[in-house]
Amino acid sequence: MIMGILDSKSPTGPLAEKWTKHKNDINLVNPANKRNIDIIVVGTGLAGGSAAATLAELGYNVKTFCYQDSPRRAHSIAAQGGINAAKNYQGDGDSNYRLFYDTIKGGDYRAREANVYRLAEVSGNIIDQCVAQGVPFAREYGGLLDNRSFGGVLVSRTFYAKGQTGQQLLLGAYAAMNRQIHRGKIQSYTRHEMMDLVLVDGKARGIIARDLVSGEIERHSAHAVVLATGGYGNVFYLSTNAMGSNVMAAWRAHRKGAFFANPCYTQIHPTCIPVSGDHQSKLTLMSESLRNDGRIWVPKKLEDAVAVREGRLKPVEIPEGDRDYYLERRYPAFGNLVPRDVASRAAKERCDAGFGVNRTGEAVFLDFASAIARYGREKAMISGIADPDPETVTKLGEAVIEAKYGNLFQMYEKIVDEDPYKTPMMIYPAVHYTMGGLWVDYNLQTTIPGCYAAGEANFSDHGANRLGASALMQGLADGYFVLPYTIGDYLSKDIRTGKIPTDSPEFEEAENQVRGRMQKLMSGTGIHSVDHYHKKLGKIMWDKCGMARNAKGLEEAIKEIAALRKDFWENVKVTGTLDSKNQELEKAGRVADFLELGELFAKDALHRNESCGGHFREEYQTEDGEALRDDDNFRYVGAWEYMGEPRDAKLHKEELVFENIELKTRSYK
Ligand SMILES: Cc1cc2nc3c(=O)[nH]c(=O)nc-3n(C[C@H](O)[C@H](O)[C@H](O)COP(=O)(O)OP(=O)(O)OC[C@H]3O[C@@H](n4cnc5c(N)ncnc54)[C@H](O)[C@@H]3O)c2cc1C
């Protein structure tokens, strides 16, 4: 494994002045010249939608691509809990520095200081932008925007729209896009999948896309290509991601020279509806916002846990003294609002010790009884009801909980068929988000000139663990406030280039490669479906690269995934035809890439001989089971260069320098 060193291009100077200085220093493209420049934005979720709308508003000619039938259906729409911003509306001591500090610490000191500070700096602008678009954030009685708390922080800085924050933000971005579509500044290609990136003279100059309805292969050129294609959590098969979320665009760029950073950094979210059986293809998140009011517990006594599992004892029958609120016990300072990696591991620890509460022993309780009582009493007092009876308190309290989380409670009831107002929810950790992704410099440019990555698709600002409500913040920061500036610096050299032709040998070759790959996928005479392989891959990933990893398991995973990939190419059966709508073929292309990424993921996890954030190597833990970092040897971003097979990938390092924050053992106690 040969190593190279990567330059982040972070500006020099004091942390709080870097972004302003950078904006002052970089080149601009004048408005008349912008009209002659084309930009492709692949992905129209929050990151891509916001980038496309802003770039078009600036005057560039934008083409957008998404595989859904509308940008409105991007996975971003699923985001529930909220979006962070350091507005300090609550007057509880928030500041740009605190948001920066919380994010770096939350990510277990594995993120780039300059990027994270910039994120905090522009966070407030995002809220203003979205309010101006009409995003209906929750408001307090007096009309001011409301906030709640998310994990790993001691302030309330999360702006939200009930449990539908992503949906409302996406409607805002989509409305902004629509304005540009009607102005003719955005050409929107829906039901189109990017199949490859086209490089001309070493620069990203276009993509090969497939029209998913007609099956036609198309060439599209531009002066720069932005990939905002989301995360790759579905490499685990079961995750909270949308079924279509995949790594294809990022992986195709990786194969063309874009380094893939920290692939093993995955977020396992602690509050998801537990797996119910082999038939499942999707897991459901119960938003982290619920941890503002829900208390997490398991029975203190093993016999109670067994009785609950066997249906002989109801959770509400377990007296208060026999409940183990293990997060409050272990982490008194942050309690139920510890970061996700910490909460997930703690749930696993209790379940592994035999205290799990569902049939499979892989669930803990999330209980709202105390919150209902607390809110009910408060409401009664406000309403002038002296000495309310318990039924009145419960009724009033449930109404408050319903106003805050109604849609989440309804979703839970529909899926589990239990009323979470009356009995605690059952939850368990599940794959949710990927902190790894395409390596980008401070300008969000990948290692391919002219190829940019935004949102969850880049290796992001979250280090080894993302704090709740920070993905929306980062995606929109990238799209509305960062990329529109930084891409201009690159494009300023292209003002005389003219249109990029699509009849060049480079486009020809890329198209032929795409066709060849698809023909190969279709030509299999095997017996197994694409899902068969995806499920098998997911099982290896979950068992050996999941919440806890060790060298032996990772070595096995590498071999098993390589063997599964070989089997896939020999034995997969893809039905339908090449030149028509064919969802089986779409899946096959995506799973083929997951089968490569999965191996690189395991290789990355194996090489990182430390535990940090969501990357928990069993060999490296403190006495009380916390992640044990090795700052001397692993204080770097690991970015992999494609060399043919995942096993041959070459590691490049970006050393992480901490000048504004003291490197400490992360503690939430
Ligand atoms: C259930 C759930 C709840 C969440 N809640 C929150 C929350 O409350 N707060 C928070 O901050 N974060 C939350 N997150 C995380 C957050 O939603 C995502 O990280 C974020 O929305 C990703 O946005 P994105 O724009 O980067 O990608 P996405 O929204 O995933 O969009 C990807 C886009 O790329 C397109 N695409 C992908 N591949 C191709 C291709 N090959 N060709 C063409 N188009 C392609 C897709 O069509 C889509 O338009 C949640 C995540 C989940 C799963």
Write the pLDDT tens digit of every residue in 80-100.
899 999 999 999 999 999 999
Ligand 1 pocket, residue 229 CB under 6 Å: yes
Mean pLDDT throughout 104-130?
98
**Element containing residue 451 per DSSP (H, E):** strand 451-453
Q: What's residue 474's pLDDT?
A: 98
pLDDT tens across 400-416, in order?
999 989 989 999 999 99
Ligand 1 pocket, residue 434 CB under 6 Å: no
What is the separation of C-alpha 318 from the centre of its chain, rounded to a whole number of angstroms?
A: 37
3-state secondary structure of 195: strand
Contact 74, 136 (CB under 8 A): no
Rounded-to-integer distance, Cα 50 and Cα 341, Å? 29
Angle value at C-alpha 31, between 25 and 37, nearest 5 degrees? 90
pLDDT tens across 528-552, in order?
999 999 999 999 999 999 999 999 9
566 pLDDT higher than 80 = yes
For residue 568, the number of C-alpha atoms closer than 13 Å in the C-beta half-sphere is 25
Integer-rounded Cα radius of gyration of the chain: 25
Ligand 1 pocket, residue 436 CB under 6 Å: no
Mean pLDDT throughout 193-198?
98
Query: Measuring CA to CA, how many Å separate 462 from each of 108, 109, 239, 288, 471?
Result: 9, 9, 19, 17, 9
For the record, the structure tokens of 304 come out as: 């109670």
Ligand 1 pocket, residue 81 CB under 6 Å: yes
Top mutation candidate among 167, 438, 456, 466 for ligand 1, by most atoms within 8 Å of CB: 456
Place of tokens 């300023």: 492
211 pLDDT higher than 90 = yes
Residue 423 pLDDT class (50, 70, 90 cuts): very high
Ligand 1 pocket, residue 249 CB under 6 Å: yes
> Across the chain, what does the average pLDDT equal?
96
Q: What percent of the chain has pLDDT over 70?
A: 100
Place of tokens 């009209």: 35
What separation in Å is there between the alpha carbon of 250 and the centre of ligand 1? 14
Q: What's residue 3's pLDDT?
A: 67
Ligand 1 pocket, residue 74 CB under 6 Å: yes
Top mutation candidate among 188, 189, 229 for ligand 1, by most atoms within 8 Å of CB: 229
Q: Could you identify the atom of ligand 1 that is nearest to the CA of residue 233?
A: 53
Q: 437: closest CA among 245, 307, 582, 619?
A: 245
- Is residue 286 classed exposed, middle or buried when 0-12, 13-18 and 19+ CB atoms within 10 A define those classes? buried
What separation in Å is there between the alpha carbon of 509 and the centre of ligand 1? 31
Q: What's residue 415's pLDDT?
A: 94
What separation in Å is there between the alpha carbon of 494 and the centre of ligand 1? 31
pLDDT tens across 578-613, in order?
999 999 999 999 999 999 999 999 999 999 999 999
What separation in Å is there between the alpha carbon of 48 and the centre of ligand 1? 10
Q: 272: closest CA among 369, 336, 366?
A: 366
Phi, psi of 624 (to 5 degrees): -95, 25
Q: Could you identify the atom of ligand 1 that is nearest to the CA of residue 192?
A: 43
Contact 293, 368 (CB under 8 A): yes
Rounded-to-integer distance, Cα 280 and Cα 133, Å? 38
Ligand 1 pocket, residue 432 CB under 6 Å: yes
Rounded-to-integer distance, Cα 458 and Cα 258, Å? 11
For the record, the structure tokens of 63 come out as: 């083409």
Q: What's residue 5's pLDDT?
A: 86
Ligand 1 pocket, residue 470 CB under 6 Å: yes
Quick check: is 374 catalytic? no
For the record, the structure tokens of 667 come out as: 């503690």
Q: Which of 340, 549, 635, 666 is catalytic?
A: 340
- Is residue 634 classed exposed, middle or buried when 0-12, 13-18 and 19+ CB atoms within 10 A define those classes? buried
Phi, psi of 652 (to 5 degrees): -120, 145
2 pLDDT higher than 60 = no
Residue 1 pLDDT class (50, 70, 90 cuts): low
Q: 581 CB contacts (<8 Å, ≥6 apart)?
A: 212, 213, 214, 215
128-137: b or e for each residue (b if 16 or more CB lie within 10 Å)?
ebbeebebeb
What is the separation of C-alpha 251 from the centre of its chain, rounded to a whole number of angstroms?
A: 16
What separation in Å is there between the alpha carbon of 53 and the centre of ligand 1? 17
519 pLDDT higher than 80 = yes
Place of tokens 């890329």: 510
What is the separation of C-alpha 297 from the centre of its chain, rounded to a whole number of angstroms?
A: 27
pLDDT tens across 21-76, in order?
999 999 999 999 999 999 999 999 999 999 999 999 999 999 999 999 999 999 99
- pTM above 0.95? yes
Residue 141 pLDDT class (50, 70, 90 cuts): confident
What separation in Å is there between the alpha carbon of 235 and the centre of ligand 1? 15
For residue 451, the number of C-alpha atoms closer than 13 Å in the C-beta half-sphere is 31
